[in-house]
Chains A and B, each alone.
Chain A
């Protein structure tokens, strides 16, 4: 052992990447770290695909006339952008890659509780994605990612069932991942790793898993009903024979609203790790950040109706949902304030992951606050189905989740691959993402507030300036995604060896070698201190 550590070349030591070779060793692996890498590759492909659709949308909207695509094609493009991005990128993004890799390591376990089910979840994901791809190749879907009835069940002439089956199947990969995380966190913690010492990333993924386990089955049954209704024309959602199309929306949003927290909570977990590490300080209000993750998960199940203020739902229900929506802001604000307080008087350094963390905090704050605008019943009547909604959603999902994902990917890339990425390029593309993102989506707030409706391929000429800005920004943003793809792949071969802990970070995952060995730790670690025990005396000053 001791000779192995002194060798300078990291590739020489046995690790999870060189433990076995050949495609079989990957496709039949039960190692959570290899499964994380499989997920990383798959969701990157889906992200690229969704990105292509996004660029097509922005190209069409460069001019007010609907000149590039006809309206039917445009409907398909934004639908497929939504379906691929939400169900096949955002939902699995952090839990299935970084979570899969890190949750067992952060709690000192050798693997997730059910390694075979973990591998199964990836295969389920792939099958679901193949169905979605099949729907795209055969001719697409035009219902929007929300599959609203009765359009999806009766009127659409596109491949709704194929796409719905894909989403249905991929849901089970989300469920199995969540189930695995819950059991792992409950039963597999190393000695001394109490609930109060769990890294906040683990708390965030735990809260996410609860939503995945409780919410996803409902969207599964809802999509099953849509498929059956469409196949047999039985009228469950058909108002002509007494069916209730609004019931579909209730059932759909019962999952899909909590699902946006599936998409943002793990990102918040990443930011908690980044902010503490690059401020060199213990986290401010550990239990509040941990508890607010659970709070978001719970309150998130009670607010779905704010997607339906103008659908014909009872006005009293609208009041109730509007009120509860305000409550979600409380745990979200707790997180933002606590991150800020954590940075206060910290010795902050500006490495790439921290730049992404700064970006997240700013963009998520804008995204979250505009969520309050939309949750306000009276204002939402004006803003419904405008670009304001699009901008809000993308501020949370891209400005929040994708930025956090990139930050986390850079932060743990040395651990995953054993190589450093080029820091200069990293910073450059982080700034590019931030600038491109704001240029893309901030004008959409204005356009939406002024009344540009979403989901149309043509628009009034007075919105053109804003839309040109948006399309230009999207190009910059796209470049900001392509550059990391290139240099991260480049670093696999040419990157400097990272060493065990390039950031001087706390956490069990940094105590082991990079890349980690197959069973993560030479011996089961014993935890004796709180999470984020950076400079303890700093906290005393702040208090």
Chain B
């Protein structure tokens, strides 16, 4: 027992937890752990993407027709917002690594602003679907008519819209969790927790943030752009 404590206190960093030998091992374990977690996330979204792929190959025309009811302007705007937020996130990690406290906080705040902007735009979009009657989850909010809605696809389009809401909904949930993580990181950053010898939480949260962005990069073309026949604006 006494020996163990002696070994642990030899390394002076207050952030070193008792069961690691040194900061390097701790950093490696944390980032590797996050990569493994992202692997589980790939499988989680992969299940939905897999089911989506099956239905799309069964009902390609119906799925093409439904994308006419998506608004690519919103989707494109959100894509841009998220890509920029990934940049600010990467800059935040770099600032933490270099010990630039002010830049770190600014970049974290910017990342959160872009993340929140994504959710606001997504909210407007959901509202539009609600008004349009494109929410098959709730009776009375599902309509399938008009020149862009061939009646033979009514049921199949309903399935696609369900996938749309599940996939974007689970993605939005991950964004909300991401905002919560960013808030925590920001609070820690304001206390001056991070510096060149300890920035693991920023790095690990950054990995998560980039992953959630990348999911959207796949969702955007699969849901908005397949067979879209209207003008983009």
Binding site for B on A (CB under 8 A): 14, 109-115, 175, 179-180, 182-183, 186-188, 213-218, 220-222, 224-225, 228, 232, 234-236, 241-244, 247, 251, 254, 517-519, 521-524
Interface centre among B51, B137, B155, B158 (most CB of A within 10 A): B51
Q: Considering the chains assembled together, what is the distance between the CA atoms of A244 and B1 in angstroms?
A: 60
User: Within 8 Å CB of A109, what residues of B?
Assistant: 19
Q: Which of B40-48, B72-80, B221-229 contacts A (4 or more CB under 8 A)?
A: B40-48
Complex contact A518–B155 (CB within 8 A) = no
Tell me the smallest distance from the CB of A143 to a CB of chain B, in Å. 20
User: Within 8 Å CB of A180, what residues of B?
Assistant: 33
Question: Does B109 reach chain A (CB closer than 8 Å)?
Answer: no
Beyond known contacts A183-B33, A251-B50: 8 more, CB 8 A cutoff: A113-B33, A220-B47, A232-B137, A236-B162, A242-B155, A243-B159, A247-B54, A524-B7
Q: Assess A113 versus B29: contact at CB under 8 Å? Given A517-B1, A522-B1.
A: yes
User: Within 8 Å CB of B36, what residues of A?
Assistant: 179, 182-183, 213
User: Within 8 Å CB of B18, what residues of A?
Assistant: 110-111, 519
Question: Does B232 reach chain A (CB closer than 8 Å)?
Answer: no
User: Within 8 Å CB of A242, what residues of B?
Assistant: 58-59, 155-156, 159
Q: Considering the chains assembled together, what is the distance between the CA atoms of A360 and B48 in angstroms?
A: 38
Give the residue name and chain of the A residue nearest to B50 (CB).
A251
Complex contact A217–B43 (CB within 8 A) = yes
Interface centre among B19, B36, B51 (most CB of A within 10 A): B19
| Contact-residue bracket for chain B | 35 or more
Complex contact B44–A220 (CB within 8 A) = yes
Give the residue name and chain of the A residue nearest to B27 (CB).
A187
User: Within 8 Å CB of B233, what residues of A?
Assistant: none
Complex contact A221–B47 (CB within 8 A) = yes
Contact with A along B133-158 (1 / 0, CB 8 A): 00011100000000000000001101
Complex contact A110–B4 (CB within 8 A) = yes
Question: Does B25 reach chain A (CB closer than 8 Å)?
Answer: yes
Question: Does B197 reach chain A (CB closer than 8 Å)?
Answer: no
- Between A and B, 27 residue pairs with Cβ closer than 8 Å are A109-B19, A110-B19, A111-B18, A112-B19, A115-B19, A180-B33, A183-B32, A213-B40, A213-B43, A217-B44, A217-B47, A218-B47, A220-B44, A221-B44, A232-B136, A232-B138, A235-B159, A235-B162, A236-B162, A242-B156, A242-B159, A244-B54, A247-B51, A251-B47, A251-B51, A519-B4, A522-B3
Contact with A along B9-33 (1 / 0, CB 8 A): 0000000011111000100110011
Q: Considering the chains assembled together, what is the distance between the CA atoms of A524 and B10 in angstroms?
A: 14
Give the residue name and chain of the B residue nearest to A109 (CB).
B19
Interface centre among B3, B25, B40 (most CB of A within 10 A): B40
Tell me the smallest distance from the CB of A360 to a CB of chain B, in Å. 30
Tell me the smallest distance from the CB of B68 to a CB of chain A, in Å. 19
Q: Assess A244 versus B3: contact at CB under 8 Å? Given A179-B33, A218-B44.
A: no
Please name the 3 residue pairs, one residue from A and one from B, whose CB atoms are nearest each other, closest first. Answer: A241-B155, A217-B44, A221-B47
Q: Assess A214 versus B43: contact at CB under 8 Å? Given A113-B33, A235-B155, A244-B58.
A: yes
Tell me the smallest distance from the CB of B96 to a CB of chain A, in Å. 21
User: Within 8 Å CB of A228, what residues of B?
Assistant: 137, 162, 166
Complex contact A241–B44 (CB within 8 A) = no
Tell me the smallest distance from the CB of B28 to a CB of chain A, in Å. 6
Tell me the smallest distance from the CB of A130 to a CB of chain B, in Å. 23
Q: Considering the chains assembled together, what is the distance between the CA atoms of A418 and B59 in angstroms?
A: 63
Q: Considering the chains assembled together, what is the distance between the CA atoms of A216 and B1 in angstroms?
A: 38
User: Within 8 Å CB of A214, what residues of B?
Assistant: 39-40, 43
Partner of B29, one of A188, A220, A234, A521: A188
User: Within 8 Å CB of A518, what residues of B?
Assistant: 1
Tell me the smallest distance from the CB of A2 to a CB of chain B, in Å. 13
Question: Does B124 reach chain A (CB closer than 8 Å)?
Answer: no
